[in-house]
Structure 1
C-alpha cells in the first residue's frame, strides 16, 4: 500500500515539474556526450597552464588519453597535447600529431564536435606556419579554423582564432584587414558575453597595427588599455605585450625604453623554461637594440645565441631579421668585405614584414653609399620611400575601415534593439498562458501535499523497521570483523601442535596473512616494511621454487629504508607476478633481482627476473589485477604532484643471454603521498 502511494505521489510531482518546464520552454537543449563534461572540466583546469607549463599539461593529458573509452574523446585530448607541442616549440612532434588528428577527422561524418576538433588542429597548424614565417598558409588555416568553429559547439573560442587571423594579416602588411579582424574579435566577445579579461590580446594587437602605421598616439592608447589587465594575463600574453611594446619604442627610436621592455620579456621567458621560441625571439630583438645603441659586442652575443635555434626550426622570417642584423653589425665595424660576403651567401625570403624590409633597405643603402655605388643606394632609398607611401595609404584605408565598421556596429545595435522589443512582446503573450499553468500546478501541488501527509505515518513505521534491519547488519559486520582474529587463533593453536620446518612454514604464513591485512588498510609504507613483507613471501615460496632459486636484494648506501616512503605492495606485487608467472615453471636456475638506488632527484626501484620475459598472449600471464591496483594507486597520487612516479614494464636481455622481465619505478623526492 505504501509503495503504491509513494509511486502515485512521485508521478504527480513529476507531472507538475514537466508542465512547468513545458510552459517555460518547448525545446530541450541537446544532450552532451557522456565524456564531454569531464573533458570541459579538465580543459578549463589546464588552460592557464598550457603556455607556462606545457610539459606538465602534456603528462596529465596523456593519462586522460590512456583512460579514454571513446575515439573522439581520445582525439579531443590529443588536440590539447598538440597545443603543448606548439608552446614548447617541438614543431616535428606537433606536425606528426596534427596529421594524425586531421586523418581521423577526414574519416568521420560531419558533426558539431568534429567541426570543433577540425578548428583546433587548423588553429595550431596556422600558428606553426606563423612561427616559420609562412603567413599565406597561416591565413588560410586560420580562416578555415574560424569557419569550422562557427559550425561547432564552442563558439566562445571564435575570438581567439580571429586574433590569430588578425595577427597574420598584420605581419603581411594588410593593416586594414588586420584591424577589421581585431574589431570583429571585440564584437564577438561582446555578443558572447565574454569577460573583459579576454580582451587584452585584441588591445595589444590593435596597438601593433597602429605601431606599424607609425600612429604612436593610437598605439599607446591601446597598449595602455592592455596594461590595465597585465596582472590577469597568462604568461604567454604577458610576453607578447612586453615584446610588442618594446617594438613600439624601437620604431620611434627610443632604444633605452625598448631595451627595458625586451629585458622584461626575456626574464619572463627564462622563468618559464618551456617558452623556448619566445626566449630566442627576445634575443633577436635585444641584438637589434644593442646594435642601434652602438654596442656591437652585446649585439653579436645575442645574435649568435639565437641563430642556431631559428636555423634548426627553419623560421625564414626570423633568419631574414638575423641576417639583416649581421649586415648592420658588419657596417658598424666598418667590415665592408664581411657585408659583401653576407650579401653573396644569404637568401631573401618571401612574405617578409614591411618593417623588416625597411630595416634591410636602410642598411643596404648605407652599404652602397660607402662603396660609391650610388645607383643601388638610390634604388634602396626609393624602395623605403615607397614603403613609407604605402604606410600612409594604409592609414587612409584604416580610417575608412574604421568608419565603415562603426556604421556596421551602429546598424547591428539598432537591429539588436528591435529584436529585443519583439522578444518582449512575445514574452508578454507567453506569460498569460504561463500564469494559467502555474495556477493549475499549484492546485495539483496542494492535493499532493494532502496525499503525502496521509502516508507520512505509514512511512514512519517503515523507517522504524528499516532502522531495526540496519542494527542487525551492524551486528553482523562486527561478527565478520571477529572472524579473521578467530582464524589467527586457530592457526596459532595448530602451530603449537607442529614442530620443525612445518611449524616454521605455518608461522611464516600467519605472519604473511596478518601483515597483508595491515597493509590493506595503508596507502603507503616504508621501504623497510615493504622489503620485510617481500622476504616473508619469498621464504614461503622457497620450497616451491627449489634449491636453484636465488634472490638478490641491493639497496644503495644513500637510500634510508626506514625513511623512504612508497606505495603499499609496490615491490610485492611485481615479485609475486615474477614468481607465479615466470619462475615457478622455469627449468634451470631461477633468479630474482631487487635493485634500489638513488638517481638524481629520483629513487629507482627495479624488479628483474630471468623467467623468459613478458608475453602478451601467454596463457600463464594472469589477470593483471595486481598491477592494475598499483597503476590506479599511482594515478591517484600523481594527480596532486608536480613530479610524478614513472612506471615501465619491459623485456630485457640479461648478461648470460637469457631474456627477462624488468619492472621499474622512479620515485621523486619530496613526493606527497597523502590523498586528501
Structure 2
C-alpha cells in the first residue's frame, strides 16, 4: 500500500515533465547548433545536456548521444565527462526497466569514480543504485547504497535534501517509522531557500501517507489540507486533484459525509478537466464507498457500476479486485445475493491473477540479480586477461630494450644476434598463439550470449502461451461448460507435458513442432466450438525428421489468425498452415479467409501483443544468417474474398548451427 502511494507520487512528477516537451524541443535545436562549433569539454557537456533532454521521448537516441559524449571525453582524457556519460546511460536503462544494464553501467561508473577519487560523483552513482535496487524490491541493498552516498556527502560537507527524502521513503517501506521521520526532518533542514517549499511539500505528502496507513486520519487530513493549499499556490492541478481525493478519503474515515462528498466532487471536477480516467474511476469508487457507509445501497450500486465500467478500460488487476470486492459487500448488504456471489468470484479470480503476476515479478527480479552477477564476473575475467596481456607486452618491451643495450655495448657476434632473433620470433609466435586463443574464446562467448538470448526469448514465449490457454480454461469454467472444460484441460495437459519435455531444447525437429501445433489447433477449435476448419500440409520433399524449427515460433501467428482474422468473421472460416521446402529455408505459410488486415487492426486493442513482440524478436535473432526479409504479411482482400497470409522464412543454416552449438554447450 505504501509503495503504491510513493509510485503514484513519482508518476505525477513525471506527468508534469510532459508539459515542457515543446520548450525542450527548442532547447535541443539550440544545443545542436552550438555543437557544430563546440570542442573539448564544452562539447562533452553539451552532448550530456542534449541526451538528458532527448531521453524523455526517445531513449534509444539518448543512449547514442551519451555514447558519443563518452567517446569525446575519452579522446581528451576528461574523466568527469566520461563518468557523467556512463551515469546517464545507467539512468536511461533504469527508466526503460532494463535494470541489468542499468546496474552494469552503475558498477562501471562507481569503479571509474573511485579510480579518479571523485567523491561527489561517486555519491551520485550510489544514490542512483539505491533507486534501482528499490524498484527491484531489494530494500537492504538499496539502503546500503543510499547510506554510502550519505556518508560521502557528509564527508564533503554537502547538503542533499532529496537524498534524505529517498531514505525516509525507504525506511517507511521497511516499516521503521522513526527513522523515516528522522530523515524527512533532515531533508527539510538541509533544503536550500529556493527548494524549501517543494521539499516541505514532498515530506508532507509522505507523512500524510504514513498517517493514513497507521489510522491517524485527523493528522493525515491536516497535512493533506496544507498540501492542497500549496498545490493551489503553485497551480499544480494534477497534485491538487489527487490531494482533494485524499482529503475526501480522510473525511470518509472520520464519518463526515458532507465534507467527504464535497471534496470528492472537487477532485472529479479537476479530473474531468484534465481527462484523468484513473482519477474519475477513483471518484466513483469513493462515492460508492461513501454511499455504502451511509447505507444508501441503491445509490452505492449505481456508483460502483460506473467505477467498474471505467476500471475495465484501464485493465489493471489490482483495481479490478478492489472494485469487485466493494461491489460484493454492497450487493450483500442490499440482499442481492446472486450478484454478490458473482462479484465475490471475480474478486477471488483477480486475486489469483495478481498473485501470479507477483510471482512472475519475483522470478524476474531473481533473474536480474543473477544476470548482474554474471556480468560482474565477466568484467572481472576480462580485466584479468587485459592485465595479463599488458604485463606480457611490458615484458617484451623490456626484453627488446635489454637486447638493444647488450648489442650496442658488447658488439655480440652474428651468431648471438641470430640467436636473439630466434628468441624474438618465438616470443611473437607465443603472443600470436595467445591472441588467437583469446579471439576464439571471444567467439565462443558471443555464441553463448546468442544462445542465452534465444533461451530467454523462448522462456518468455512459453508463459505467454500457457497463460492464454489457462484463460481459455477459466472462461469455459466460468461459463459452466464442464464438458468442454474437461476436454480442453485434458488436451492442454497433454500439450503442456510435451512443452515441458521439450523445454531443454531451443529447436525442435519439424515432426515434434507439428505435433505441438496440431494439439494447439485442437484446443483452439474446442475453445471456439469448432467454429472454424483447419488443415496442415507439409511439402513431400521436406524431411520432417531432419529439419528443425525454433520451438513455438509460428504459434503466435496462428493464434493471431484465429483471434483477429477468423473469429470476427461470419460464415465459413478456414485456416491453412503449409510447410514448404527451399534450398536455404523452411517456408511456413499461414493463410486464413478472415476479415483481413485492416479490419483486424481496427478490432485489436490498443495495447500491443506481448506474444507477437517476443516472436518478432525471435525472428530478428535469425536475420544474422541471411539478408532476406524473413517475415511477410499479405492482405488477400480482392472483391468478395478476404483473408491474410503470413509467410515466415526459417534459415536452415541458422537452425542447424543453433542446434549444434546447443549440443556443444
| TM-score tier (shorter) | 0.3 to 0.5
- Using CA pairs below 8 Å that are at least 6 residues apart, which structure has the higher relative contact order? 1
Task: Point out the structure with max Rg over C-alpha.
Answer: 1
TM-score (structure 2 length as normaliser): 0.37
Higher helix share: 2
TM-score (structure 1 length as normaliser): 0.36
